[in-house]
Amino acid sequence: MKPELVGRLLSNHGLALVARMLLTFPFWCSGLVKAIDFQGGVAEMAHFGLEPAAAFNIATIVVQLGGSALVIMNRWTWLGAGALGVFTALTIPLVHHFWSLEGERALIALHTTTEHIGMIGGLVLAAILGQVRHRRDGSDLPRGKAAHEAAVIA
């Protein structure tokens, strides 16, 4: 592939939207499932010892759907990605505590933990790229600083 084509692809807004949707897919899919099958979500929370299970299910739905929406829309991306990153980090000691499990369960939890760490990195990168875009546009800076910041980033 020619470098010019790669450059055009990587600056395509449609591709960026699809990438943000793919990055957040595990979250918005899980949030939708927990909202549609609310009792199933409550049972999942109770299974992991999170009480009151209904409140944890509601909080999970709000974080997963709200955080995903912010990242996908590329608005307040830092907040959406941050919420999803903190949520993901918290699942490690609460749900995927491989150090306290044995055998195959421990191995599966370890692999899930490493995937979660990679996802957190992807969310941090999405927040960084969202911030760069806003600085280039000047949309989140006072008018006097916008041109200077855009010039520095470019």
Give the whole-angstrom CA distance, residue 44 versus residue 148.
50
Share of the chain above pLDDT 90, in %: 75
pTM of this structure: 0.83
| Measured distance CA(33)–CA(61) in Å, rounded | 9
Burial (0-12, 13-18, 19+ Cβ within 10 Å), 154: exposed
* Rounded-to-integer distance, Cα 30 and Cα 145, Å: 40
Confidence (pLDDT) at 136: 72
Structure tokens at 17: 């939207």
Residues 123-141 have pLDDT tens digits of: 999 999 998 877 776 655 4
Residue 113 pLDDT > 50: yes
| Single-letter amino acid code for the residue at 77 | T
At 28-57, the pLDDT tens digits run 999 999 999 999 999 999 999 999 999 999
At 114, the amino acid letter reads T
Ramachandran angles phi, psi of 60, nearest 5°: -65, -45
* Residue 24 CB burial class (10 angstroms; 0-12, 13-18, ≥19): buried
Domain span holding position 36? 3-153
Number of domains into which the chain is organized? 1
DSSP string, 86-147: HHHHHHHHHT--GGG--HHHHHHHHHHHHHHHHHHHHHHHHHHHHHHHHHHHTTTS-HHHHH
Helix (H) or strand (E) holding 14: helix 13-36
